[in-house]
Chain A
């Protein structure tokens, strides 16, 4: 299994509070991704990173920010959590991105509930 961990694995928080999710990899892959998964919507890309300090937005980036100060860590921050951000969040990594059909390896997910 690809070395990807996510923390925390479960979190319950209140509306308006900031939340940070962490993704850690031991594979030294260049690309890291944050997705959210909701019933009927599949996996939707929030943000991704193509190198240290290099990030870009995905299709559902509003209300989220990311940072990558080291190759192995990619942080997702919900600046002021809302109930619509209740979801399962997955981190994924890949060595070269999707341009050659390369596989993305996924972490175990974080279940976030915003009350």
Chain B
């Protein structure tokens, strides 16, 4: 079983919808949680970063971490066609030299 599980989708929603993307993980040592966004034929770029449990909001994006359930989420409000991309969760433990990535969810926002 993978350390980090993410539903690969694809996920297709209409413009303006609220989108929920999720990852589960098995390593209780993970403390740092990230979401990367990857546009087609580009490298991933960091979108959101959260340390330990709680919520973090940045504009239309909200990242949530529930360490008791080993579950993280990314919410996109008022989704736009420009949000169409692959979203990858990533996480790491203190002292780690690398990140562990989920499989990525391919999201399409339809005008």
Interface residues, chain A, with chain B CB atoms under 8 Å away: 31, 33, 39-45, 48, 50, 56, 58, 90, 92, 97-101, 103-104, 106-109
- Contact status B41-A42, CB under 8 Å: no
Q: With A42-B101, A106-B44 known to touch, is A99 a contact of B8 (CB < 8 Å)?
A: no
Shortest beta-carbon distance from B51 to chain A in Å: 6
B8-A40 in contact (CB<8A): yes
B43 at the interface (CB under 8 A from A): yes
A101 pairs with B43, CB closer than 8 A: no
* A33 to B101 Cα, complex, angstroms: 13
- B34 at interface by CB-CB < 8 Å: yes
25 contacts between A and B (CB under 8 A): A31-B97, A33-B98, A41-B103, A42-B101, A42-B103, A42-B104, A43-B44, A43-B88, A43-B101, A43-B104, A44-B101, A48-B98, A97-B98, A98-B96, A99-B92, A99-B95, A101-B33, A101-B51, A103-B49, A104-B46, A106-B43, A106-B44, A108-B43, A109-B41, A109-B42
Residue B59 at the chain A interface, CB threshold 8 Å: no
Number of interface residues of B (CB under 8 A): 28
Expressed in whole angstroms, the Cα–Cα distance for A61 and B25 within the complex equals: 23
Q: Which residues of A contact B51 (CB under 8 A)?
A: 101
Q: What is the CA–CA distance of A103 and B34 in the complex, to the nearest angstrom?
A: 9
Bitwise, B18-29 to A at CB < 8 A (1) or not (0) is 000000000000
Chain B: which residue is nearest A6 at the CB level? Answer: B43
Which residues of chain A have C-beta atoms less than 8 A from B99's C-beta? 98, 104
Instruction: Specify which of B46, B88, B95, B103 lies most central, judged by the most chain A CB atoms within 10 Å of its CB.
Output: B103
* Complex interface bits, B97-111 against A, C-beta within 8 A gives 1, otherwise 0: 111011110000000
| A103/B43 contact (C-beta < 8 A), A33-B98, A42-B102, A97-B96 known | no
Centre residue among B41, B88, B92, B99 by max chain A CB count within 10 A: B99
Point out which of A90, A104, A106 has the most chain B C-beta atoms below 10 A from its C-beta: A104
CB distance from B46 to the nearest CB of A (A): 5
Please tell me if the beta carbons of A101 and B101 are within 8 angstroms of each other in the complex. Answer: no
User: Which residue of the partner chain B has the closest CB to A45?
Assistant: B98
